[in-house]
Amino acid sequence: MDIKPIVVVSRCLGFDACRYDGQMLSNSFVSQLAPYVEFRPVCPEVEIGMGTPRAPIKIIMQQGKPHLIQAETGNDFTHSMQEFSEEFFSSLGEVDGFILKNRSPSCGIKDTKIYAKVEKGPAIGKASGLFGKQVLSEYGGLAIEDEGRLNNKKIREHFLIKLFTLARFREVKRMGTLGALMQFQTAHKLLLMAYNQSQMRKMGKLIGSATKMTPMPELFLEYEQGLHCVFSRQARIGSHINALMHAIGYFSKQLSAAEKTFFLDHLEKYRNGQVPLITLVSLIQSWTLRFGSEYLSQQMYLTPYPESLLNFKER
């Protein structure tokens, strides 16, 4: 299913010179992702009327609540930011993920510094920026990351898998039929198994118990909640091994003893961190082509997102 994920992205990450210092940040990952997604850039600070360049803002805790304060002027932008966030989300429509500027008092996801007073002084903690906090509250089940964390390979891979899977589900939800949902579940079985086998089974039973009389909106909502649960954390090595063992079972009669031993040896090397996951996945892909397994050829586990994004490198 060829569908582009819809991603809200901080406008300063390669789209506009709107950073507080009047700069635009070059981001390799955002640039390489661009051909495969539909970006919707936004700069909350510009949207609430702050100029570019502008005096920096920071989050100050006042009476137990975070306030967005511009230290140089003393202006409080808290209400403006909250009002803009609500208006933005109400008109946003369909979306699959967010890539936001890290450490930003507006866009930060979890590493924005919090201060006790407007005057200079040490930070008293870290939390989300005001816009970022609303993103997590309104869209917590989606693929949400900041550009800093996406430099980590495991975090980036999890983000991409989640993002493209949710985009595919969005299209299935648009179709709204039980048949489309069954096909989605079948094509994603190994991927769901690699993340959360028990939840995968629950989702399978949910579909299996449905009939033509089942209200589709309720069914899709419950399934979507399960999907969000599956991707609420990164897949564990043991779960990947379980999925890979399930996959090789489709070739149990065709593979030679030497090939099986080779695969199992590399499985242990993967468990011990000596070889990457892609090595095992590539073996399954090659055997799928060699033996023509129709079931495995449609498994999104083997290609959960565009293969060219596997070769991402920092520029």
Q: What is the residue-wise DSSP string for 106-125?
A: TT-SS-EEEESSSSS----E
Please tell me the predicted confidence (pLDDT) of residue 213: 87
User: What digits encode the pLDDT tens for the residues 251-270?
Assistant: 999 999 999 999 999 999 99
Q: Please give the DSSP secondary-structure letter assigned to residue 95.
A: -
Q: The whole model's pTM is what? A: 0.95
Model confidence at 122, pLDDT cuts 50, 70, 90, reads very high
21-44 average pLDDT score:
96
Phi/psi region, residue 53 (left: phi>0; alpha: psi -120 to 50; beta: rest), is beta
- The DSSP letter of residue 5 is P
Report angle CA 257, 263, 264 to the nearest 5 degrees.
90
Residue with tokens 């430099």: 151
Q: Per-domain residue ranges for the chain? A: 6-151, 153-315
- The neighbour count for residue 247, using CB atoms within 10 Å, is 25
